Amino acid sequence: MRVASLFCGCGGLDMGFVKAGYDIVWSNDFDKYAVQTYNLNFNHPAVCGDINKIDLNDIPEHDVLIGGFPCQPFSMMGKEQGFSDHRGTLFFKVMEIINNQRERGHQPRIVVLENVRNLMTHDKGRTFAVMKQELEKLEYHVFPANLNSADYGVPQTRNRVFLVCLMDDIKYIFPAPERNEKKVQDILEQNVKDKYFLSERILKTIMSNGTGGYYAKSEIDLPIARPLTATMAKMHRACQDNYVTQEKGVRRLTPRECARLQGFPETFKIEVSDAQAYKQFGNAVTVNVSYAIAKSILEQVENE
């Protein structure tokens, strides 16, 4: 099936669909560094640019529309402004794209959207209710679920909401969790460069449990990683980011280790700065989860 991908980033959601046998015919992101990484790793290059400024008639016909639309408006880490934040309105850009395809006679049969777990409860559930209503107006049956990456073969706790929307009258069932015995220690690189190790001075800050009225226990060497964040390059405290111990001392994760925690293969090329790589993998959809969903959609749609 032909896929168009919105907000593709470095390609985590796309890679899962490609692995399941789908064909990416168009993709887009506004981050030039993410597009640089994407284009190194996919046969069909992504269009770099603001989706609000792209002519929607340039988006080719597709069977499946996928996208992890910006999560900051709904995230507990942000200000939770929802649709009052201009980034939140990008959901309605997705609706506009579907309507454009509909008017041209080839509405996508399947839509898969990803966002933070807080999307379901934001504004006492009213935000999700609006989204569901808009999708149903376009004749989709909407199936939401919160999936944890740790349940799909990677040692990272990462809860995300996925919306699978089908025009076919099928009761979609999300893929069941898989047994995962892999630990963070299993994906670590050896002989890591000195720049990833922490100095004694910064280690004291990293390991502090908080200041003022904020307290959270800082731990390192966790077997299942905390959620990777887009701001890992800033090195937050160990109650938020992931740190491990090796012969030379305590260090942060390398970009390749972050890629592994997100399910990217060893062949995935990383040719941007560490700061950009951390941002890309912190924003990415876990490939394993994407693949499980893409595969289950094929199986259930084809069975019907």
Phi and psi angles of residue 292, each rounded to the nearest 5 degrees, phi first: -60, -40
Beta strands in the chain (DSSP E): 2-6, 23-29, 47-48, 64-67, 110-116, 141-148, 159-166, 243-246, 249-252
Q: Is 242 exposed, middle or buried (0-12, 13-18, 19+ CB in 10 A)?
A: buried
User: Is 71 an annotated catalytic residue?
Assistant: yes
The two tokens of residue 272 are 């941007």
Which strand ranges, in their side-by-side order, compose the sheet holding 110-116? 47-48, 23-29, 2-6, 64-67, 110-116, 159-166, 141-148
Q: Which of 71, 165, 239, 258 is catalytic?
A: 71
Sign of CA dihedral 119, 121, 122, 126: positive
| Alpha carbons 14 and 185: distance in angstroms, whole number | 27
Largest CA distance in the chain: 63
Residue type present at position 163: L
The two tokens of residue 24 are 């990416």
DSSP 68: -
Specify whether the CB–CB gap between 23 and 294 falls below 8 A.
Answer: no
If one counts every other C-beta atom within 10 angstroms of the C-beta of residue 247, the result is 8
CA 256 to chain centre: 17
| Alpha carbons 153 and 177: distance in angstroms, whole number | 9
Closest residue by Cα to residue 233 from 271, 277, 272: 277
**Known catalytic residues?**
71
